[in-house]
Structure formats: C-alpha cells, structure tokens
Amino acid sequence: MAAPAQPSTVLNELRRAQRANGPAAVLAIGTAVPANCVRQDEFTDWYFRVTKSDHLTELKAKMKRMCDKSSIKKRYFHHTEEMIGGHPEFLDRAAPSLGARLRISADAVPELAAAAAERAIAEWGRQAADITHLVVATNSGAGEPGADLRLARLLGLRPTVRRTLLYLHGCSASFVAIRLAKDIAENNRGARVLVACAHATILPFGAPDEAQLDALVAMALFSDGAGAAIVGADPTSPVERPVFHIVSSSQATLPGTGHALGIDLGEGGVRYRMAAEVPELVRGNIERCLVDSLAPLGQAAASGGGGDGWNGLFWAVHPGSRPLLDSYEAALGLEAGKLAASRSVLSEYGNMLAATIIFVLHEMRRRRQDGEEEGDASQWGIMSGLGPGLTIETIVLHASASCLEQLH
C-alpha cells in the first residue's frame, strides 16, 4: 500500500496547478474620450470666460504662455460650459463642492471606462463574461460601491468577477493596475483581467488663482479619457493574440521628494501639487532607477538584445508634460523619435492621468503595425511613469510578433 502523500507535496502540486505556465501579456487595448473637444489655442479664452475671470489679465497671459508651450493641440472633457454654469460653487474654492463633483464623476467615470473597455473586449475576441478579474483606477471618486461595480454592471460581467478599485494614485495608477493584473494572471491559471483607468477632471476644476499656480498648470495640462486593457497568461490560439508581454514591474520612491508631487482631496475637490523641480528630479534619477529595474533581467533586456544601450529599447513613457519627456530624452540620450508615441498622445489628448499610458501603448502598436518611419521595431521596451512620492514606476515589456501584424 502506497504511503499517503505528504501535505507539503499536495500543497505544492495544488500550487503548480493554480499557476499559469507563461508570462502575462496585454491581449487587447481600448481607448475612449468624451465628446467635448477644446483646442489648446482656444482653451485660455474658454477657461477664463467659463470661470468669469477675464479681468485677471496678467494671470490669463501667464496661462496662455503655458498652453502655447505645452505641445498640446487639443483636449477632451466631460464637463461643458453649461455644466460649469450650473454649479457656481465650483468657481469658489472656499465653498464646499466635493459632493456635487463626485455625483457628476460617479456617472462619467464608469461610462467612459465602459466605452474603452467595450473596444478592448471587441478586439480581444472573447465574451465579457470570460473576464475573471476587474481592476479599476481613477482619481475621480471617493465612494463605495464605486466605479468598479458600476462598470461591471455596464459590461455585463459575471457577479463572481473579482474586483479591485484604486483611488488617487495619480498618473501612476495604470502602472499599479497593470502590475496587479500581471500578478493575478500569472498566479491564477486561466484568469483574464480587465484593467480600466478613467478620469473626469471636474474634481480639480476651479477658477484661476495667483496663489495656486500648480492648479493653473493642472488646468493647462489635464484632460478626460479612459484606457482599458485585457491582461492574461497562456493565450488561447488563435483567438487571443498577445500585444506586449509584461516581463517585470518595479517601483522606486526618491527619498525626500514627498513634497514634489501629491494629491489632496478636500471639500473644494481635488488639488494636484506639482513642484517645478520634478523634471530636474527625473533627469537626475531616472537612469539609476532603470538600471536597478533591469539588472535582474540580464544584458539582453538592458540593451534590447543589441549594443545600442537605451536606444536599443522601445519607450512608452507617460507624457505628463513636454518638460518631463524632454527630461527622459536628456538623461538617457534617447534619439529623436524614441518618444514619438508619447509626444503624439500628449499633442492629441493632453495628460489624461493614468489613462494616458494606455493611449501611448495603443499609439505605439499602431505605429509598429503601420510601419511608420518613426515606429520603433525594438522587441524589448520600457513603460515608465511618475506617481506621488515622488515615485518612479517601471514596467519592462517584450513586443510579441502579433504587435507587428495588421489587426483584422
């Protein structure tokens, strides 16, 4: 009679059976923006008119210079002039307005996320009911039940879908969400994770104030949008076609920089704190953080498989602003065109916070598939972005063969 299996052996066998065989990958991407589009060269006039601030001529001129230097052509918003006109409390920073802002975003965020998610699901080729996990990230909410449950209902996901909701992670929320999705997919055989990042900038919207120039910068940069991605391991051929394999994820917080980037939620809405020194902090620290992130992966990943150093990789950098992208280029000696996808998204949409990097992945794939001159055919790549802290997020990607094929 055979001896009974040891408990540790049984547990190890069960654990192996639960895990996926291969690495997680982005299987599909979807994006969406609201209908209200405002050209950047018209935004200053629009903003000062809507906020009844045309009398602040010097401040208006300052914002016009910000917009002119932003490299942004247009942005999209859920809020309209009529909506702002119906909420005079939004223009008085001393007036409590958080409740009204949250009520607006409670509808706007899940609906915008659903539009992006529906496109990702359609590209994925499987049914929404096959999604096992849902990770939602937004800066535009503060309640439960939240945007995750509303999104699950809008998409018709199963009641058993396992949901995670991330609030107020700023521009880095998509990195946190994708990192979580990678861990879920690789440790739960057959898991398919829908990542959705959506934002409505009605929460920080307010009248211009000389004493709060960081708020003016936010008004000149931020916009509304949603990005969605399906993440899973061991893709089912021929339906599922990986776009980017998610090789690794890391995070580094720069000591003594907590003041540089932050988010405050109060009765007047959300305030973004952005110190002018952030680009310089990036320039002085990004290379060291990248070296530390790539070291465990060996030389192939660190050089993109060749001898071109940082230029041997493709780059999906969160386009927080033009100076931030310039800082990456200067610090790493990147060739012109390496950040073309990031600059294009910034130009066409502005900074949509966490959703923006998903737009960059979408644009990067399009360029590779279309064979554009500026498209980057490197197989190894870096996703990089910033979060409160100051925190530098790094995700190493490997482009799949299907990333170079035309979508059908």
Phi-psi region of 368 (alpha: psi -120 to 50; beta: other; left: phi over 0): alpha
Where does residue 326 rank: exposed (0-12), middle (13-18), buried (19+ CB within 10 A)?
middle
- CB-CB contact of 22 with 234 (8 Å): yes
Q: Of 206, 220, 209, 224, which Cα lies nearest the Cα of 40? A: 220
CB atoms within 10 A of CB 395: 24
What confidence category does residue 15 fall into, taking pLDDT thresholds of 50, 70 and 90? confident
CB atoms within 10 A of CB 147: 30
- Ordered DSSP codes for 182-247: HHHHHHSTT-EEEEEEEE-TTTT-----TT-HHHHHHHHHB--EEEEEEEEES--TTT---SEEEE
- Distance CA(353)–CA(87), nearest Å, equals 24
- CB-CB contact of 391 with 176 (8 Å): no
3-state class of 53 per DSSP? coil
Cα-Cα end-to-end distance for the chain: 58
> Which residues are CB-contacts of 36 (< 8 A; sequence separation ≥ 6)?
76, 77, 78, 79, 80
Average pLDDT over residues 218-233: 97
In 3-state terms, the chain is what percent helix, strand and coil (to 5)? 45, 20, 35
| pLDDT of 127 higher than 60 | yes
| pLDDT of 307 higher than 70 | no
- Distance CA(138)–CA(172), nearest Å, equals 10
Candidate list 171, 197, 289, 403, residue with the active-site label = 171
What is the sign of the dihedral through the CA atoms of 268, 103, 224 and 120?
positive
What confidence category does residue 407 fall into, taking pLDDT thresholds of 50, 70 and 90? very low
What length is written for the chain?
Answer: 408
Average pLDDT over residues 217-233: 97
**Chain mean position to CA 29:** 12
171 is catalytic: yes
Per-residue model confidence as pLDDT tens digits over 166-177: 999 999 999 999
Q: At which residue do the structure tokens 């959705």 appear? A: 196
Q: What is the pLDDT of residue 8?
A: 76
pTM of the model: 0.93
Q: Of 168, 193, 161, 171, which Cα lies nearest the Cα of 180? A: 193
Average pLDDT over residues 95-113: 96
Q: What is the pLDDT of residue 306?
A: 54
Per-residue model confidence as pLDDT tens digits over 129-185: 999 999 999 999 988 999 999 999 999 999 999 999 999 999 999 999 999 999 999
Q: What is the pLDDT of residue 94?
A: 83
Per-residue model confidence as pLDDT tens digits over 316-356: 999 999 999 999 999 999 998 999 999 999 999 999 999 99
